[in-house]
Amino acid sequence: MLVFSAGEHEFSVPEEWTEITLEKYAIFIDAANELQAKLKEDEAEDIGFYQIVLEYREHFNKLFQTFTGIDPKIIDKIKADNIYTTYMYIMNFLKEPDYNKIDSFTFKRKKYYLPKSKVDYFGNEIEMAEASFGEVVEAMQIQEMDKSFQENNFKVLPYQIAMLCRQKGEDYNDQKVKERAEVFKELPMDVVWQIAFFLIRQKLKSLKHLLQSLEEVRAVKTD
């Protein structure tokens, strides 16, 4: 974690996917989507970094707050250099990491297994092919049950992971899925990405205008 000071206050910024939970990341994506939607509504998606900060301060501060946990009222007291550095890290977390295939993961001292994949007659790998058809369909359908799930894939992932990933020899159980989904909200995002690449049907919105602004900030700082 990177740690910065703002007067008497300190705030931390994740440096790695291991340092952010699924629940926190879902909240962050909500804030990013709200900013994106507002810019689209105002036909302002191509404006630069500094214009966003000046004209959309409330949305921008909310994005900052969801990622750092710092009170939005304190943001104006943070040194400009630290603001730029923090946003650089934030933007990096809007990009998908590389995919490294796993067949199991350990969380809170318990080991969970993903349904095994298979290769078809044409040499194509079918992800999680050994899950039952009903389980896969239910995992996909649950996303359609709540509008917030449709708008933010990361909110539904704890339930989908709980449906498909179980301990060795464990049968499917609705009650366990419900309970385990709450536990899985605390999964670190490095594990979540490796489990859920094929479950995330909508690609993560990258907020192009913010990424472009990040490059502008980097260019200014290196001049």
Check whether residue 26 and residue 83 sit in a common domain.
Answer: yes
Question: 3-state class of 6 per DSSP?
Answer: strand
Same domain, 13 and 73: yes
Domain that holds residue 91: 2-95+205-222
Q: Closest Cα partner for 142 from 208, 201, 97, 77?
A: 201
Is there a single domain that holds both residue 190 and residue 166?
A: yes
Do 146 and 165 have their domain in common? yes
Residue 205, pLDDT score: 39
Same domain for 19 and 58, yes or no, is: yes
Place of tokens 């939970």: 21
The bridge status of strand 118-119 relative to strand 2-6 is: unpaired
DSSP string, 192-214: HHHHHTTT--SPPP--HHHHHHH
Question: Counting runs of H as helices and runs of E as strands, what totals does the chain give?
Answer: 10, 6
- At residue 207, the pLDDT reads 42
- pLDDT value for 23: 93
Same domain, 135 and 211: no
The whole-angstrom separation of Cα 104 and Cα 168 is 10
Q: How many domains does the chain have?
A: 2
Give backbone dihedrals phi and psi of 11, rounded to 5 degrees, phi first.
Answer: -140, 155
pLDDT digits (tens, 9 = 90+) for 181-203: 999 999 999 999 888 776 654 33
Distance of alpha carbon 168 from alpha carbon 64, whole angstroms: 40
Helices 208-222 + 80-92 axis angle, to 10 = 130
Same domain membership, residue 111 and residue 187:
yes
CA–CA distance, 21 with 28 (Å, rounded to integer): 11
Q: What residues in the chain have per-residue pLDDT under 50?
A: 201-209, 214, 217
- The DSSP bridge partners found for residue 106 are 111
Task: Look at residue 202 in the predicted model and tell me its pLDDT.
Answer: 38
Question: Which pTM was predicted?
Answer: 0.76
Tell me, what's the pLDDT at 8? 75
CA distances 78 to 25, 26, 91, Å, are 23, 25, 18
Residue 109, Ramachandran bin (φ over 0: left; ψ between -120 and 50: alpha; else beta): left
Contacts of 95 (CB under 8 A, 6+ apart): 204, 206
* pLDDT of amino acid 184: 95
